[in-house]
């Protein structure tokens, strides 16, 4: 049963999702491998044959003016046919009012942008669900990748898709949690 839930997840699979317009958030506890997966995605995007503008680590804006300058820079990069991607690591301290800055990005750039973010959450389904609810993740993201390293496993990635516009389908994660932690 675990083998059908825990499958290897490769950056190239995530890249395909990004090109399809997915908005992805990677969650997990401290040290679980969120930034490592984000770096793999970055490397896969750079190696991809399609031209792309990759903006990462730039969301440390201290003021509205700084943030507007960042958006102008992104807009400037969009002078070719490639798609824009924004990679946001929680360690960059980009949280500007619980992802609401993503509304401003979409409004100012008026283009489809693929983005991936990381967010720290505690161990266990309940804690992860609480953090996701607190940060209004369902509004801004279409897919969650949970990264973990439970006691009886070498680690796992599990993809959680949306069930509908306001809810994620947690059933696979619930089965995984019941098998790994108890």
SS3 for 67-131 is HHHHHHHHHHHCCCCCEEEEEECHHHCCCCCCCCHHHHHHHHHCCCEEEEEEEECCCCHHHHHHH
Query: Which distant-in-sequence residues (6+ apart) come within 8 Å of 142 by Cβ?
Result: 21, 22, 23, 24, 161, 162
Confidence of residue 87 (pLDDT cuts 50, 70, 90): confident
CB count within 10 Å of CB 12 equals 13
pLDDT digits (tens, 9 = 90+) for 123-136: 666 778 887 877 77
Spatial separation of the C-alpha atoms in residues 142 and 22, rounded to whole Å: 6
Domain ranges of the chain: 2-180
Q: Tell the CATH superfamily of the 2-180 domain.
A: P-loop containing nucleotide triphosphate hydrolases (3.40.50.300)
Q: What is the pTM of this model?
A: 0.73
């Amino acid at each position: 049963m675990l083998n059908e839930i825990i499958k290897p997840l490769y950056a190239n699979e995530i890249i395909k999702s990004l090109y399809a317009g997915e908005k992805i958030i990677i969650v997990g506890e401290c040290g679980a491998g969120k930034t490592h997966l984000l770096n793999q995605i970055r490397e896969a995007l750079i190696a991809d044959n399609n031209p792309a503008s990759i903006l990462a680590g730039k969301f440390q804006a201290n003021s509205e003016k700084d943030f507007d300058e960042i958006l102008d820079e992104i807009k400037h990069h969009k002078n070719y046919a490639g798609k824009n991607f924004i990679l946001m690591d929680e360690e960059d301290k980009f949280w500007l009012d619980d992802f609401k800055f993503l509304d401003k990005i979409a409004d100012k750039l008026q283009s489809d942008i693929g983005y991936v973010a990381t967010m720290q959450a505690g161990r266990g389904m309940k804690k992860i669900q609480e953090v996701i609810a607190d940060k209004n993740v369902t509004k801004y993201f279409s897919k969650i990748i949970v990264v973990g390293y439970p006691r009886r496993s070498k680690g796992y990635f599990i993809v959680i898709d949306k069930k509908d516009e306001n809810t994620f389908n947690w059933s696979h994660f619930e089965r995984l949690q019941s098998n790994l932690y108890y």
